[in-house]
A = this chain, B = another copy of it.
C-alpha cells in the first residue's frame, strides 16, 4: 500500500478514522499549505500514534488554519515492544538526539531521570516530544514515544512496575556482554520478552549508592557495552539496538 502513500506525513493529536475530519492548527496549516505548497484536494498521510496511518485530503486550506478529511487507511497501527528508555539528561543537542533516536529505535516511552551526577540543564518535555514527532514524521514511523516528566532515579526505582525488567548499561567493566545477558533473560522469560526498560547512566557515571541499589534490584539485568567509553547518546542507540536484536522486533 506504500505506493499510494502521500509524500507529506503529519502527526496530529485528533482521532483518525474513516471520514473523520481533522482541524489543523496554525503551524500545521502553515507547514502544509505554505512550506509544502499543498492546496485544497491534495493528499497528506496522517498518524496520531494510536489509529494507524490515513490518507487524508485537504478540505480547507487557509493561511491560519485548515481541515483534512480521512479517506483511506494506509497502514494499521502496529504495537511495537513494550520498551522504555530511561536516560539522564545531558547537553541539549544530545538530549534532543536521544529523543529522536528513541523514536526510530522503537521505544514506547522516554523517561528523563535525575541521578546524583546528572549535569541537568532543565529538561523541556515538549521539546523532546517535538523531536520524537519529527523523527516519526520523517521515518514513516506510526508510534511516537510518550515523554514523561523527569523523575529522580530513586523515585523511579521505588515505584517500579511489577514484571518490568530493567537493562542497566554500566560502565563498570564487570557486567556480562549485553547480548549474552539479554538472551539469557529472554530464555528465562519464556515466550515473549514482556515489558522492559533500558537505563542509560549520566556522563559522570552512577554514584556508588546508585550502583549498589541497581545491583540489588531483582528486576535489573546489568550489561556491558564493550571496552570503550560511550557518550550517553551513543549508548542509548547501541543499547536499544541490542535489545531489539535480542528480545524485540528485530528478530526473525
Contacts and interface: CB of A to CB of B under 8 A. Distances in A.
Contact of A242 (B100, B140, B242, B249): B242
Contacts of A28: none
Nearest to A140: B229
A8 to B, nearest CB: 16
A231 B100 CA distance: 10
Interface residues of A, number: 38
B237 A241 contact: yes
A140 B229 CA distance: 7
A224 to B, nearest CB: 8
A139 B228 contact: yes
A65 interface: no
A164 to B, nearest CB: 22
Q: How many copies does the complex hold?
A: 2
Contacts of A231: 100, 104, 135, 138-139
Contacts of A238: 105, 237-238, 240-241
A229 B178 contact: no
Contacts of A135: 231
Given A105-B234, A237-B238, A245-B179, A250 B226 contact: yes
A248 B228 CA distance: 12
A217 interface: no
Contact of A178 (B106, B139, B237, B250): B250
Nearest to A139: B229
A228 B104 contact: yes
B177 A229 contact: no
A141 interface: yes
Interface of A: 97, 100-101, 104-106, 135, 138-141, 176-180, 224-231, 234, 237-238, 240-242, 244-246, 248-252
